[in-house]
Amino acid sequence: MKKLAVILLSISLGCSAQQNTTEDLVANEDAFFDYVDKSTEIEVLAEGFKWSEGPVWVREGGFLLFSDAPQNTIFKWKDGEGISVFLEPSGYTGILPYSREPGSNGLIINKDGELVACEHGDRRISRMPLSQGGKVTVADTWQGKRFNSPNDIVQASNGTYYFTDPPYGLPEQENSASREIEAFGVYKIDSNGKVDMVVSNLKRPNGVALSPDEKILYVNQSDSKAPYIMAYKIQQDGSLDEGRIFFDASSLQESGLKGSLDGLKVAQDGTLFSTGPGGVLVITPKGKLLGRIATGQPTANCAWGEDGSVLYMTANNYLTKIQTKTKGTGF
């Protein structure tokens, strides 16, 4: 497919101006254009961040929140208003410096309308009412041991949370003296607050998402030697089976495309939109790569917004969005 020029904008923080950027939509299959129109362009909303992450759309108020872990800040973007600081500090309340990424990472809005954050520096999952603030710890230990640096999280309709806990937010990552848990686990927090490790054999678990019927938990692994999207069947008690490799991104990685498997979201028909080498990968529920939204940047995460058909993407130091022809789960 013809390579289009990359046009990136200089939009300072707080500026509400927006323009279109021209980027490639790289199709492996014609069905890719059932999800993104051929003429659609990526829109750059703002830039100047250190590493944008964890976007979430807030329906009550119609705005986007996203993390910048190195800046220990959650930013807010709203159409017509642009960028503003929403919460600082966002994930570490100790004495800096701590690590390269002390702040929050993955964010969601839970069933109660609260902001739930994966906090690197404070090594916990927190929740906070958007209307009044005031964080409450959801969980910060497993079997009396502190988490490493919670990274991404999802909540099932029954209230159960699933989250990943790689070492990325620790001062020396896996070599940190403060590390207390040997495994880089995937955890479950049930509606009573009980914490269980449900996956223990991944080296770099990262993004998490549920299938529309909530029978499968997808887990991205940002391991250069095993760049897989894993799929786990959810058992009746909320535990997971042994899992299987759903998608192998090795060939994309080996081709020199920027980025690794990181965050992911799911469309209502079960199609995955996963950040990975080359931008955002669009993958069928059977694990077939349809194509990719080529952001031109290492891309950390994405989120459905507005009416559910707009995909917001945090790509390196940029916040971007693109109009799709589908809708995400939860809309």
pTM above threshold 0.75: yes
Give how far Cα 177 sits from Cα of 94, 160, 172, 181, Å: 17, 31, 8, 11
Question: What is the per-residue pLDDT across 103-117, written as a single tens digit (0 to 9) for each?
Answer: 999 999 999 999 999
Domains assigned to the chain? 19-323 (2.120.10.30)
**Which of 183, 187, 137, 185 has the alpha carbon at shortest distance from 160?**
187
Residues forming beta bridges with residue 216, ordered by sequence position: 233
Mean pLDDT of residues grouped by 10 in the chain (331 residues)? 30 39 78 96 96 97 97 98 97 96 98 97 97 93 98 98 98 97 98 97 98 98 96 98 98 94 98 98 98 96 98 97 97 92
pLDDT at position 19 is 36
Q: What is the pLDDT of residues 161-192, one digit of tens each?
A: 999 999 999 999 999 999 999 999 999 999 99
